[in-house]
Chain A
Amino acid sequence: MIIDKKVEVVEAEVNFLEDLDVSWVSLVPHGANRMPFKIIKSEDGADKEENMLDVIYSVIVPNGVELDVLKEEVPWLNGVKFIKTENYNEYKSYIQVPYDRFDPDKMNIVKLDKGVMVLVGKVDNPDPEWVSIGKDITDPSGPSPTIPAFKESFVSELNNVINVLVGAVSQSHLPDNKRKSIISNSLEAFKVFMLAGIDHGGFATAKSEVPELIVRVKEKEEVMSDVTVKEELQEKVEAVEKEEKAPSPTSAIDALISKIDTLVEKLDALSKPKEEEVQKSEEENPPVEENVFEKFEEKLNAMGDILDKVVAKIEKIEALDSTIPEPVSKSEDRVPANPKQNDADIWAGAIFRN
């Protein structure tokens, strides 16, 4: 939308096209006329669904949390009239609307303010007393709410958990009991989110998209890394991490040595055949015997080259290792940089460079 524009009248030479025979129309990033596409929405099903309300089916309350206590913190919960309660192992589901009013495949689990989890779904002609998202629960300052699909919530929740865990582990000023409490609560909330999602629709469609979800989570990790590579030290740590993620040089050497030993043994065995076997072999197919030796020799040489490369790589890593200073962690918001950290520490380092 244009709010204001300044124009001036100028003389320009313009080439007026005539008798233009248009053979192709191309979809391009930026149209020459500088007008973007207009995208229309469906006139039937989708719009109809958009006009349907996102009614709360049930409120999920983890075991150990009382609904009445929750109501004190979350005022809108007082307006919900529950018709029954279902008890699950890890949580209770306080139900507002009969299940048969929803399409199970299109139900979603959503986390609202104060972390209250609700199961929602589109309902046509809902009872006016039913509490719904958008009508009864909304933020007047923001745009109209849109319910995320389960997979969107899943990615978001997983990222939240990772961030909370990393934060709890890396905040050096936190006492251990507080740290444990944060981690425990976060994992508990995520567990309930997943279980409720599996117990009630949403997950059925999401599970077929697991590879995509994993890519999304990984993409976020990569973005974080991109954003945070600022300091030389971090770059060095990252370089070491990459090396560590590659197959271990030590194990590669062991494997090579083992293979070489095997080859040497076979070579020995072949180079000391029984006389009659040699004679027989030479009579049957002498050139093959020669080829076998040549091939083994070639392979050994190749193995030797690989071994040299691996040794060079180890020396490079050792050299890099010696240049990394000891952790400087006086600041509370920085993870100690330890190149010999385990996988969990690598995560922490990656996130905290944000």
Chain B
Amino acid sequence: MSEIDTPILEIKKLVVKDDTYEQVVFGEVFAPFRADSQGDAMTDVEIKKAAYNFMKNMRLDNIDVGHNLQKSGSYVVESFIVRHDNDPDGFIKGAWVLGVKVEDKDLWNSILKGEVNGFSLYGRVPPDKVPNKKTVKIQKVTEIKGLTEKSLFGMLPEHTHEFHIKFDDFNRIIPTETNYALGHTHMILQGTSTEESLEHSHRFSLSE
């Protein structure tokens, strides 16, 4: 036996086995009456229209990475509009949700690491359409305290971090840091996932 003690919790290292996952991600493409980071919003009626149109035109494999407009090999396996409040998965009523199968191993690993972590749509509004700008009262979030999700990658045991995020006047995250857990922290510069530290990052949600 070694005289140097081995860490007792050796067995707790998280291992991501490929066959553990179906390699399917679910996410909201757009949720109603919520301005995104670019100040755009959609009504529930418009979202449903856009979702149905996407399916009608069979754009099931028009899934690219980082808006490169190149098919990634991923494809839509589920598409639905959230029907009720208090959805068990936390989706917002009226939101368009896609389930996308990610076949590419490297891309899937990027998702597990939190490097790829959300959907973003690319589309066109008819040129004759006049922008429908409205001044509305919105609930502006100024601060959020929360817990990240567990890391899905890396050599450390499963763990989470607490975060306390503040937003500036333009609804941008003011860069901050998570608390310490297992002797490390993560920077938070943008929404939905922390920066990488010790070979892993954490997803987090800024929506309930």
Instruction: List chain A residues, Cβ under 8 A from B3.
Output: 181-182, 185
Question: A7-B141, A112-B11, A115-B1 are contacts. A35–B43 as well, Cβ < 8 Å?
Answer: no
User: Size band of the A side of the interface?
Assistant: 35 or more
**A5 touching B141, Cβ below 8 Å:** yes
Contact between A37 and B203 (Cβ–Cβ < 8 Å)?
yes
In the complex, what residue of chain B is closest to A143 when comparing beta carbons?
A: B158
Contact B1 A18 (CB under 8 A): no
Q: Assuming A16-B132, A17-B40, A37-B26, is B20 touching A50 (CB within 8 A)?
A: yes
Report B-chain residues with C-beta under 8 Å of the C-beta of A155.
155
Q: Which residue of B lies closest to A70 (CB)?
A: B1
Chain A contacts for B8, CB-based, 8 A: 112-114, 139
B residues 75-128 with Cβ under 8 Å of A?
76, 89-90, 98, 100, 102, 107, 111-112, 114-126
Interchain CA distance A301-B43 in the complex, whole Å: 75
Which chain A residues lie closer than 8 Å to B19 at the CB level? 42, 45-46
B125: chain A residues within 8 A (beta carbon): 17-21
Q: Determine the distance from Cα of A131 to Cα of B125 in the docked complex, in whole angstroms.
A: 63
Asked whether any CB of chain A lies closer than 8 Å to the CB of B177, the reply is no
- Interface digits, B147-176 against A, CB 8 Å rule (1 contact, 0 not)? 101101001011100100000000000000
Contact with B along A262-293 (1 / 0, CB 8 A): 00000000000000000000000000000000
Main secondary structure of the interface of B (DSSP, over half): mixed
A152 within 8 A of B: yes
In the complex, chain B residues whose CB is within 8 Å of the CB of A175: none
Contact status A15-B133, CB under 8 Å:
yes
For window 239-279 of A, CB contacts with B under 8 Å fall at: none
Known: A20-B50, A182-B4. A42 touches B21 (CB 8 A): yes
On whether the beta carbons of A16 and B42 are closer than 8 Å, the reply is yes
Q: Are A25 and B98 in contact (CB under 8 A)?
A: yes
**A24 in contact with B25 (CB, 8 Å):** no
Choice from B2, B29, B46, B137 contacting A186 with Cβ under 8 Å: B2
Q: Please name the residue on chain B nearest to A106 by beta carbon.
A: B17
The residue on A at minimum CB distance from B162 is A3
- Interface membership of A79, Cβ < 8 A: no
In contact, B207 and A33 (Cβ under 8 angstroms)? yes
Q: How far is the CA of A254 from the CA of B44 in the complex (A)?
A: 77
Contact in complex: B1, A37 (CB < 8 Å): no
Are A26 and B63 in touch, CB under 8 angstroms? yes
Chain B: minimal CB distance from A213 (Å): 12
A162 within 8 A of B: no
In the complex the two chains form, is B66's CB within 8 Å of A41's CB? no
Question: Residue among A6, A37, A111, A142 with the most chain B CB within 10 A?
Answer: A37
Interface residues of B (CB under 8 A from A): 1-6, 8-15, 17, 19-22, 24-31, 34-43, 46, 49-51, 53-54, 59, 62-69, 72, 74, 76, 89-90, 98, 100, 102, 107, 111-112, 114-126, 129, 131-147, 149-150, 152, 155, 157-159, 162, 190-193, 203-208
19 contacts between A and B (CB under 8 A): A2-B206, A9-B137, A12-B136, A13-B133, A24-B59, A24-B67, A27-B25, A27-B64, A27-B111, A28-B116, A29-B118, A30-B118, A37-B25, A41-B21, A42-B21, A46-B20, A115-B2, A146-B12, A156-B10
